[in-house]
Chains A and B, each alone.
Chain A
Amino acid sequence: MNTRESHCYLLGGALHRCEATMDEARLVREARDGDEDAFADLVRRHSGGLHRAVARIVLDEEEAWDVVQMAFIKAWQRLDKYDSRWKFSTWLYRIGTNLAIDLIRSRASRLKAHKAGGEHQLRLVGGKQETAERLEHGEIDGILRELVDVLTPQQRSAFILREVEDMETSEVAEILGCSAATVRNHVFQARKTLRREIQNRYPEFVPQSQRGRNEL
């Protein structure tokens, strides 16, 4: 791809994003006017991404769907309070993340997550596989769901939104209702804890020379 083509690609990409943003703004306006079909379109657009993030916070696929539905219903009820200066997705993720954090705080036991993690660990120890294959097969997803359980709700949310969902720090700060510096601190602490846990539970992923160096 030459420079001119790449510029056109970038410009085309920016135009595409602009059109998508305007389309979403129209849907939000229509939903605020009571158009349920417009709101249903917003649900279709954002439910997948919201579920992905929420599922990694609450560590349960089905409960995550419940949280996602509750988040959208709350969003519908509060549409008159929605400030269009926010991205709709940011506002929606804020509602969904708060519900997810409330859920994990009120949940009585983490035993289900530990049990699931234990079964998963037995399967992995059985055979050595290349990291690339594991990434493709989604086993890393299972490890993630086990390991984030050792994080606080805020660290977990910040790490998942920033590092896994690849959202900007400023957006994560808006979602979590804190400063960008706080987000960075949460992510830093999460990485530190996860390094330790991976070293303890999955040392095969850490090269020999690095073992012990990544300890606290």
Chain B
Amino acid sequence: MSCEDYRELLTEYLDDSLDEVRRAGFRAHLKRCEECRDLAIAEDPSFLLSLAGRREPSAEKIEACVTGVMAGIRQEQLQQRLRPSRRPWLAAAAAVVLAIIASTAWWMNGAQPVETPPLQADAHEVEILEPVVPEEGPEAKEPPPRVEVDMTQEEVRVYQYAIGDDGTTGAVFIVNPAMEL
């Protein structure tokens, strides 16, 4: 093929519609023929980069790569060999810990089921249990006032009672024991 023949292939090359054989021939010609190469670059400057020379890595670099790869493979194999042997130990340790926790919980509960005392569903007067009494101040020696709560058909239990600064107001925290805090 002449240079003129190759130049006619330029448009097809840029459209990527050349078959691989003619494309390889076209590129090989551009690398050999400076005039055709310059014309191609003038038409499309990206040819400057398409025809960039190949720089092959040195043999030393390649051998270093081989060494690194094989070392990486052996390290991965070693880690795989170590990994499964840890599992039985971990599983046994976890089982022992769970057993200890379970048995401790059972022993502390006296092997009896915990029963929640029944609450009065229609209670409208609540007795305060374990009130928080401040240690200092004029309120320290006086018992906290009774709280009258009208909460029929509600299960209630007084959890905490606080006295305001004026001695007359208070805040009552009532928590349904069935609620999960």
Question: Does B9 sit within 8 A of A, measured CB to CB?
Answer: no
**Do B16 and A169 touch across chains, with their CB atoms under 8 A apart?**
yes
**Do B34 and A144 touch across chains, with their CB atoms under 8 A apart?**
no
**Do A68 and B65 touch across chains, with their CB atoms under 8 A apart?**
yes
Within A31-89, which residues are at the interface with B (CB < 8 Å)?
36, 39-40, 43-44, 47-48, 51-52, 65, 68-70, 72-73, 76-77
User: Pick the contact of B46 from A44, A77, A191 — CB < 8 Å?
Assistant: A191
**Do A48 and B56 touch across chains, with their CB atoms under 8 A apart?**
yes
Q: Cα distance A52–B65 when bound, in Å?
A: 13
Q: Which of A36, A69, A184 has the most chain B CB atoms inside 10 A of its CB?
A: A69
**Do A138 and B53 touch across chains, with their CB atoms under 8 A apart?**
yes
> A70 — which chain B residues lie within 8 A by C-beta?
72
Known: A40-B66, A73-B72. A198 touches B52 (CB 8 A): no
Known: A44-B66, A51-B65. A141 touches B55 (CB 8 A): yes
**Do A205 and B65 touch across chains, with their CB atoms under 8 A apart?**
no
Question: Does B149 sit within 8 A of A, measured CB to CB?
Answer: no
Q: Which of A1-9, A99-107, A108-116, A160-168 contacts B (4 or more CB under 8 A)?
A: A160-168
**Do A43 and B69 touch across chains, with their CB atoms under 8 A apart?**
yes
Known: A135-B53, A141-B52, A141-B55. A72 touches B46 (CB 8 A): no
**Do B61 and A136 touch across chains, with their CB atoms under 8 A apart?**
no
**Do A144 and B72 touch across chains, with their CB atoms under 8 A apart?**
no
Residue of A nearest to B45 (CB): A198
> B16 — which chain A residues lie within 8 A by C-beta?
169, 184, 187-188
Q: Lowest 10 A-B CB distances belong to which pairs?
A: A198-B45, A163-B50, A194-B46, A72-B69, A191-B46, A73-B72, A144-B49, A140-B52, A207-B42, A47-B65
Q: B residues engaging A (CB < 8 A)?
A: 14, 16, 20, 24, 27, 34, 37-38, 41-46, 48-57, 61-66, 68-70, 72-73, 76
